[in-house]
């Protein structure tokens, strides 16, 4: 008989404890992010698709050595460069990344000895067309130029 | 008040409107409340605070086609959702919201409401039976055994209150609790019975209301994780809509009854400004508790459910009934 009432009492108390917890949670602020309306900043080590790094004047640091092209296991990268008349160095004219085949392994970033490419923080990538994922990184850099 | 045909029509229209508005906006309140407890914002896109969500949901449901599964009992399949909504709306007619706001007070109000409340489980039985679906069938079997188990302690506690008031008239029950909070049946230090076990009776009644309305943690009838959606698995469109509305209308009825039987109806705790606002306040506090409980506790098992009723609620409510009878005799 005592056990019967103890069980009822303990059960009731544990129910009230549970209700107390949800009551407290009710008044705490929400922890979710309303995604399309607000976005989080990506962490420093996030790997988006690669992006060309500009120098101080906004030109690409790339010297068109082609190491990244060779390092890529999936042949995603194709470089184009030319020597301008009177110039000594090659200058980048196109840098095409086929993101449909890229697995974000980072071999290209590792291979680059000039620090000319880096991971971007881009994650809002959605499209119905395959062609939208073939990026011309040189053009993107030109667009970002101030 | 003489009951003319016009009176009845007006009363029923108001009851339907009240039930429908409550059903719609309790869904909103439930979703917002659940979201707050789980620390997310809940529906907040459509309209301010997501207040346009219920009408939009309603429009969506009405635009859907009502499909009847092959091999189902067509007549019963269509009757079941109507039978779910009908007792809920009819019960509103006899509930006194204040001294003056009542469609038709009956001198056997308690009896009438419990009679209609037990019709609700009939609709679950018919819905599950006519769907020709094993999950629906399982669900209706559970719902009926649950209804049988929980109607007994519920009626016993209701009888206790009726004994204290000396009348099954809902108006009379509230009038007897009117003077102050100490006359309320939940805590009756003054008044008729002086029974210190009445808070327990209130708890029993509240738990039974949860079980009768098939609410979590007693929602075994529509246990999503086991039975898809239980008795309304095969229902789409407004068939489902009616079941959904009936659930919330039943919550309102259950909370109204708890308010009237235990919390003094429209009377004020301190005897100030008695009126419909006190009734509404108590009603929505109870409904908020319903929502709060639903999002706190996990679903019980069918054994736990029946054990709770037969081993705990029924003996305790019977003991309380005897004690009350004795105390009424003494004082």
Each residue of B235-269: pLDDT tens digit?
888 888 888 888 888 888 888 888 888 887 787 77
Length reported for chain B: 331
Residue B103 reports pLDDT greater than 80:
no
- pLDDT digit string, tens, across residues B191-210: 666 677 788 888 889 888 88
Residue B104 reports pLDDT greater than 80:
no
Residue A116 included in any domain = yes
> Is the CB of A22 less than 8 angstroms away from the CB of B292?
yes
Three-state secondary structure call for residue A42? coil
The mean predicted confidence, pLDDT, of chain B is 83
* Total number of domains constituting chain A: 1
Residue B27 reports pLDDT greater than 60:
yes
Give the domain CATH number at A85. Answer: 3.30.70.3270
Calpha distance B285→A27 (Å, rounded): 17
Distance from CA of B34 to the nearest CA of A (A): 9
Question: What letter would DSSP give residue A52?
Answer: E
The pLDDT of A32-51, averaged and rounded, is 84
Residue of A nearest to B45 (CA): A34
pLDDT given at position B8: 75
- Torsion-angle region of residue B107: left (phi > 0), alpha (psi -120 to 50) or beta? alpha
Residue B49 tokens, joined: 């605070």
How buried is A145 (Cβ within 10 angstroms: 0-12 exposed, 13-18 middle, 19+ buried)? exposed
- pLDDT digit string, tens, across residues B40-75: 888 888 878 888 888 888 888 888 888 888 888 888
Across the interface, which of B33, B39, B295 has its CB nearest the CB of A31?
B39
Residue B292 reports pLDDT greater than 70:
yes
pLDDT given at position B189: 67
Instruction: Provide the greatest CA pair distance for chain A.
Output: 103
Q: A 24-63 residues with CB below 8 A of B?
A: 25-32, 34
- Give residue B271's pLDDT band: very low, low, confident or very high (50, 70, 90): low
Angle, CA B207 vertex, CA B202 and CA B213 arms, to 5°: 125
Residue A117 included in any domain = yes
pLDDT given at position B230: 77
pLDDT given at position A142: 81
Residues of chain A in contact with residue B44, where contact means CB-CB under 8 angstroms, are: 34
This prediction's pTM = 0.78
Residue B188 reports pLDDT greater than 80:
no
* Residue B126: C-alpha distances to residues B73, B148, B199 (Å): 10, 16, 36
Calpha distance B87→B119 (Å, rounded): 7
Among B116, B64, B53, residue whose Cα is nearest residue B253: B116
- pLDDT digit string, tens, across residues B124-146: 888 888 888 888 888 888 888 88
The domain of A120 spans 50-144
Calpha distance B324→B30 (Å, rounded): 37
More confident residue, B178 or A133: A133
- Give residue A11's pLDDT band: very low, low, confident or very high (50, 70, 90): confident
pLDDT given at position B3: 62
> Is the CB of A29 less than 8 angstroms away from the CB of B39?
yes
pLDDT given at position B2: 59
- Torsion-angle region of residue B85: left (phi > 0), alpha (psi -120 to 50) or beta? alpha
More confident residue, A58 or B262: B262
Percent of chain B residues past pLDDT 90, beyond the cut: 0
Cα dihedral A46, A51, A55, A56, rounded to 10, equals: -70
Provide the pairing of β-strand A117-119 with A77-82: unpaired
pLDDT given at position B193: 62
């Amino acid at each position: 008989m005592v056990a019967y009432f103890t069980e009822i009492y303990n059960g009731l108390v544990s129910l009230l404890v549970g209700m107390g917890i949800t009551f407290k949670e009710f008044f705490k602020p929400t922890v979710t992010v309303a995604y399309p309306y607000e976005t989080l900043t990506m962490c420093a080590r996030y790997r988006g698709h690669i992006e060309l790094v500009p120098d101080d004047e906004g030109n690409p640091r790339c010297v068109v050595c082609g190491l990244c092209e060779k390092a890529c296991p999936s042949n995603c990268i194709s470089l184009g460069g030319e020597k301008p008349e009177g110039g000594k160095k090659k200058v980048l004219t196109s840098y095409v990344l086929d993101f449909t085949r890229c697995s974000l392994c980072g071999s290209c970033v590792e291979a680059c000895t000039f620090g000319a490419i880096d991971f971007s923080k881009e994650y809002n990538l959605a499209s119905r067309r395959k062609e939208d994922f073939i990026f011309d990184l040189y053009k993107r850099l030109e667009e970002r130029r101030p | 008040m003489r009951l003319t045909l016009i009176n009845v029509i007006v009363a029923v229209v108001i009851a339907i409107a009240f039930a429908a508005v409550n059903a719609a906006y309790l869904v909103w309140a439930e979703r917002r409340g659940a979201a707050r407890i789980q620390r997310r914002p809940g529906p907040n896109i459509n309209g301010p605070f997501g207040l346009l969500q219920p009408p939009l949901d309603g429009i969506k449901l009405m635009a859907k086609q009502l499909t009847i599964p092959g091999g189902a009992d067509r007549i019963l399949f269509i009757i079941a959702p109507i039978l779910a909504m009908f007792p809920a709306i009819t019960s509103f007619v006899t509930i006194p919201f204040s001294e003056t706001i009542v469609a038709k007070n009956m001198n056997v109000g308690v009896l009438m409401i419990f009679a209609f409340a037990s019709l609700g489980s009939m609709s679950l039985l018919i819905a599950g039976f006519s769907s020709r679906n094993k999950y629906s069938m399982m669900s209706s079997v559970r719902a009926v055994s649950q209804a049988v188990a929980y109607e007994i302690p519920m009626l016993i506690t209701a009888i206790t209150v009726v004994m204290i008031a000396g009348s099954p008239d809902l108006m009379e029950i509230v009038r007897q609790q009117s003077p102050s909070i100490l006359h309320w049946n939940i805590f009756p230090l003054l008044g008729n019975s002086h029974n210190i076990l009445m808070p327990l009776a209130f708890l029993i009644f509240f738990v039974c209301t949860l079980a009768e309305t098939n609410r979590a943690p007693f929602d075994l009838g529509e246990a999503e994780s086991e039975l898809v959606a239980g008795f309304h698995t095969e229902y789409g469109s407004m068939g489902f809509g009616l079941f959904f509305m009936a659930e919330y209308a039943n919550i309102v009825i259950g909370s109204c009854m708890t308010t009237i039987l235990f919390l003094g109806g429209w009377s004020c705790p301190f005897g100030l400004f008695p009126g419909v606002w006190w009734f509404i306040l108590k009603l929505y506090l109870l409904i908020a508790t319903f929502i709060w409980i639903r999002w706190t506790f996990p679903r019980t098992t069918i054994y736990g459910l029946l054990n709770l009723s037969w081993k705990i609620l029924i003996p305790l409510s019977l003991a309380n009934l005897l004690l009350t009878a004795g105390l009424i005799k003494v004082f």
